[in-house]
Chains A and B, each alone.
Chain A
Amino acid sequence: MYPHERSLVEKYPADEFAIVGVNSESTIEAAQEVIKKNNLTWMNFYDGGTSGPISTRWNVSGWPTIYLIDAQGIIRYKDVRGEDMDKAIEELVAELRTEKQKAETK
């Protein structure tokens, strides 16, 4: 997963796309270590374990669980993986670019 995620972060400009992680490692030291070791450049909430407050509120029962949220903050896809995930991100970023263009030409 990490190389794939890294490639996504590299593919899109930072003002169009971001990964926000919610990490459920059982200790914060373990979370810090895995982030340093794998050179993850994106931000991660720390949830204090699999039954942490964020995972509980979002009713997460399997890891990884993925949500794709558009630029307006709307949930657009749940649990897409692999190629489907890439396509979905491409679609949402294209939407964002069209919106921006519209706003500029006005």
Chain B
Amino acid sequence: MRPMLLLILTLTILMTGAPQVLSASSDAPREMDSKKEEAEAAFKKLDEAMSQAREAYFEPMDKARKEGVLSPEEMSKIELDPDLLPIKVVGPKILKAIEKYVGTEVALAQCSELLYLSSREESQAWMFDRVSDLMITHYLESESLKNFCTMAHYMGDSPANVKLLRSIFADSPHRDVKAASGYALAKVLGSSKDTREEGLELLKKIGSDFGDVVYYRDTVYGDKVKGDLFEMEHLQIGCVAPEIIGKEVFGNLMQLSSFRGKVVLLDFWGDW
């Protein structure tokens, strides 16, 4: 009984007395911790709501799949209810939670997710605007912005995306975030006619100023930019296909140009 009693006593002191003594120095971080936990719990619930919404949205496809094997063409003809779009159903709730927990890392991760989803739906452009404004106001200092930046060039050339990337590139204190945002901005600008020149200039600048920063695994921005510039110059429709000389899978030497005179389907592939 005695050790038990001691334990309870200690716990009581810890739970009632101690926080008051410590409060002067650790109130703020403690509050942050509980806010962080609360935010994590809230977003976890919303993640679940999102998966349920996805299931509901794709139900007609699942049903068809269960009834029989359909070709991809047939599958793409199945109509889905636009009112059940997960971003439409759950998106506004996630946005509300982001506004409530703005400043936390977990809310930033949700921002990226929402931006990605809303960039795919024209009707949700308003949400992209709202979320990107929140990111500019609250997260320009965050190093985790890199996660968003590495996907940002898949999110289109909307004015909101360009504005967000410009802000990050100009104001981020982190070199790797600057590299990632600048690269994404260059790709986005390069993809539309009016800003192609600016995109190309910026791309070259990223290659020279941030060439040593890691892009992905063992590739640095210097190599990535070199590849992009080669593609722009030599791999466009209308270009003569660059020569490939090498060994084929069973060890024989072969070259692409020896197929001249035939139509060639050049297929970069792997069985994974």
Verify B263–A55 contact, CB threshold 8 A: no
Identify the closest chain B residue to A96 (Cβ): B263
Assembly CA distance A66 to B241 (angstroms): 13
Verify A18–B262 contact, CB threshold 8 A: yes
Q: Is B242 an interface residue (CB 8 A)?
A: yes
B residues in contact (CB < 8 Å) with A? 72-73, 217-219, 223, 227-228, 230-231, 235-242, 244, 246-250, 254, 256-257, 259-272
Per CB-CB distance, the 5 closest pairs between chain A and chain B, nearest first, are A59-B227, A59-B231, A67-B266, A34-B271, A69-B264
Chain B residues whose CB sits within 8 angstroms of the CB of A96 once the complex forms: 262-263
Chain A residues whose CB sits within 8 angstroms of the CB of B247 once the complex forms: 45-46
Verify A71–B261 contact, CB threshold 8 A: yes
Chain A residues whose CB sits within 8 angstroms of the CB of B257 once the complex forms: 73
Identify the closest chain B residue to A89 (Cβ): B263
Residue of B257, B265, B271 with highest tally of chain A CB at under 10 A: B265
Identify the closest chain A residue to B261 (Cβ): A71
> Given known contacts A73-B241, A73-B257, A78-B237, is B270 in contact with A20 (CB within 8 Å)?
no
A residues in contact (CB < 8 Å) with B? 1, 5, 8, 12, 14-25, 28, 30-32, 34-35, 38, 43-47, 50-51, 53-60, 63-78, 82-83, 85, 89, 92-93, 96
> Given known contacts A17-B263, A22-B267, A51-B218, is B237 in contact with A77 (CB within 8 Å)?
yes
Verify A43–B264 contact, CB threshold 8 A: no
Chain B residues whose CB sits within 8 angstroms of the CB of A24 once the complex forms: 268-270
Verify A63–B265 contact, CB threshold 8 A: no
Identify the closest chain A residue to B270 (Cβ): A24
Assembly CA distance A89 to B73 (angstroms): 19
Assembly CA distance A28 to B248 (angstroms): 10
